[in-house]
């Protein structure tokens, strides 16, 4: 009789433990898969400021900006086949200067942003100018508002929703009494500018060191929503454009809980800021995976013994996986590679992260597939 009592208690304990663990366990992880490789010509460099994947005429296009010849390069993503280059003139009637960034909306609607000229140019596939817009954010500076400097990158791209061009920006102001937004909404019809996504409260009265990593809102998009990831914030912010409202969700890594502010004077040299950044937790990229309906958030983990000669400031990277309702459903520590983490995108194959290639004739991406546990 005692045996059956002990057996029943044991089974109940196992059942409880399994159910309890199931609530706390992750459901997904990332596994490394086959590399994605694009062969480059002699005028194309492997490092770029912006990558965009899009569908055009039933073709999945892999596009990126090539600084060397002021062009956008197009490949057929599925076959890795080079398609063409769109070379933009710097001067003349179709001149756009140096391409700071771009947004390929369609065959006849390519938006080129030149930060130094403070202009947005609309061109077609033949690089012929269709229109141009003055985009001077600095005129909006006031005692109540510190606008961000537009700074689109692969991890925070330009996007067009309806008649609004969305620009991410870097916020450098330390004035607690002003509105310090992270995002610029530019109305193409009225030329009006709206600023949204104020820095979180934790940025008040606190210096976080490197502005480009801690004060820069990495962004991704899902329909009419902008999802933002800031370096010093365990939460992510979801901004609904139509409702003009923000919500926050916990998206913290399981590996570290403490993010230290930067206490040294503002005129401290870059080496001190690098040391702080490399020995401290910092959140970076966030990407929406429209093929699997999940989000990936990058956490750069502390690496106090880093190589100070390394211009890429490489460190351990963990990727937090969130479901469509922004619940944490997984986290994966990535294997060590020479990642160029600013160059990341999502494809039908999975999460793609560029690595530094020893051969300049190739652009190489590590592929990570989402698998169920």
Q: Which domain holds residue 53?
A: 47-135
113 and 87 both lie in a single domain: yes
pLDDT band at 296 (very low <50, low <70, confident <90, very high): very high
Task: With a cut of 60, say whether residue 3 has pLDDT above it.
Answer: no
Q: Which of these three, 90, 114, 135, is where a domain ends?
A: 135
| Residues above pLDDT 90, as percent of the chain | 74
Binning pLDDT at 50, 70 and 90, where does residue 265 land?
A: low
pLDDT exceeds 90 at position 371: yes
| Tens digits of residue pLDDT in 153-178 | 999 999 999 999 999 999 888 787 78
318 in any annotated domain: yes
**What pLDDT band is residue 102 in, cutting at 50, 70 and 90?**
very high
pLDDT band at 4 (very low <50, low <70, confident <90, very high): very low
Please, are residues 296 and 289 in contact by the beta-carbon 8 Å criterion?
yes
CATH number of the CATH domain containing 347: 2.40.128
Is there a domain that residue 156 lies in?
A: no
Among 135, 156, 175, give the residue marking a domain's end: 135
54-64 mean pLDDT: 95
What mean pLDDT is predicted for residues 18-23?
Answer: 40
* pLDDT confidence of residue 20: 38
- Mean pLDDT of the 320-329 span: 97
Q: What percent of the chain has pLDDT over 70?
A: 92
Work out the average pLDDT over 300-327.
88
Q: Which of these ranges, 39-48, 266-275, 302-311, has the smallest mean pLDDT?
A: 266-275
Query: Rounded to an integer, what distance in angstroms lies between the CA atom of residue 155 and that of residue 217?
Result: 9
Question: Confidence band (pLDDT; 50, 70, 90) for 225?
Answer: very high
**Which pTM does this prediction carry?**
0.90
Domain CATH for 103? 2.40.10
Q: Is residue 11 part of a domain?
A: no
Phi, psi of 82 (to 5 degrees): -70, 135
Quote the CA–CA distance of 48 and 66 in Å, as a whole number. Answer: 6
Q: Is there a single domain that holds both residue 109 and residue 37?
A: no
Q: Greater confidence, 57 or 17?
A: 57
Judged by DSSP in three states, 111 sits in strand
pLDDT at 135 over 80: yes
Is 305 within a domain? yes
Residue 17, C-beta contacts closer than 8 angstroms, at least 6 positions apart = none
Query: Are 31 and 52 members of one domain?
Result: no
pLDDT of residue 307: 80
Neighbour tally for 183: CB within 10 Å:
24
Residue 21's pLDDT band (cuts 50, 70, 90): very low
Question: What average pLDDT is seen over the chain?
Answer: 89
List the end-to-end C-alpha distance of the chain, in Å, as a whole number.
Answer: 39
Whether 193 is in a domain gets the answer no
Total of domains in the chain = 2
- Residue 268: the pLDDT is 64
Is the pLDDT at 16 greater than 60? The verdict is no
pLDDT given for residue 23 in this prediction = 41
Identify the band that residue 56 occupies on the pLDDT scale cut at 50, 70 and 90. Answer: very high
Within a domain: 126: yes
Identify whether residues 287 and 346 lie together within a single domain. Answer: yes
Identify whether residues 248 and 282 lie together within a single domain: yes
Q: Do 357 and 371 sit in the same domain of this protein? A: yes
């Amino acid at each position: 009789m005692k045996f059956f009592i002990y057996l029943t208690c044991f089974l109940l304990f196992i059942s409880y433990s399994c159910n309890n663990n199931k609530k706390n366990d992750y459901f997904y992880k990332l596994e490394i898969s086959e590399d994605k490789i694009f062969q480059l010509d002699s005028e194309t460099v492997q490092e770029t400021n912006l990558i965009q994947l899009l569908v055009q005429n039933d073709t999945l296009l892999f596009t990126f900006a090539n600084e060397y010849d002021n062009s956008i390069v197009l490949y057929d993503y599925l076959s890795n086949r080079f398609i063409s280059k769109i070379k933009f003139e710097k001067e003349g009637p179709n001149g756009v200067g140096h391409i700071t960034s771009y947004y390929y909306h369609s065959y006849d609607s390519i938006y080129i942003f030149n930060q130094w000229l403070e202009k947005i140019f609309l061109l077609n596939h033949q690089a012929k100018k269709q229109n141009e817009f003055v985009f001077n954010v600095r005129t909006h500076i006031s005692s109540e508002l510190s606008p961000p400097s537009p700074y689109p990158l692969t991890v925070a791209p330009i996007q067009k929703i309806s008649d609004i061009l969305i620009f991410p920006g870097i916020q450098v102001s330390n004035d607690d009494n002003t509105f310090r937004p992270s995002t610029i909404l530019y109305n193409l019809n009225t030329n009006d500018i709206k600023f949204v996504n104020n820095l979180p409260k934790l940025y008040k009265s606190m210096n976080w060191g490197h502005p480009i990593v801690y004060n820069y809102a990495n962004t991704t998009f899902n329909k009419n929503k902008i999802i933002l990831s800031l370096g010093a914030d365990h939460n992510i912010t979801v901004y609904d454009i139509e409702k003009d409202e923000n919500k926050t969700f916990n998206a913290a890594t399981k590996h570290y809980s403490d993010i230290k502010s930067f206490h040294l004077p503002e005129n401290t040299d870059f080496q001190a800021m690098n040391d702080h950044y490399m020995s401290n937790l910092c959140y970076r990229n966030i990407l929406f995976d429209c093929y699997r309906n999940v989000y990936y958030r990058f956490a750069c983990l502390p690496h106090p013994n880093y190589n100070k000669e390394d211009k890429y400031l490489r460190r351990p990277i963990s990727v937090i996986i969130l479901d469509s309702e922004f619940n944490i459903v997984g986290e994966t520590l990535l294997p060590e590679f020479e990642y160029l983490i600013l160059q990341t995108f999502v494809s039908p194959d999975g999460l793609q992260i560029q690595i530094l290639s020893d051969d300049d004739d190739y652009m190489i991406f590590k592929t990570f597939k989402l698998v169920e546990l």
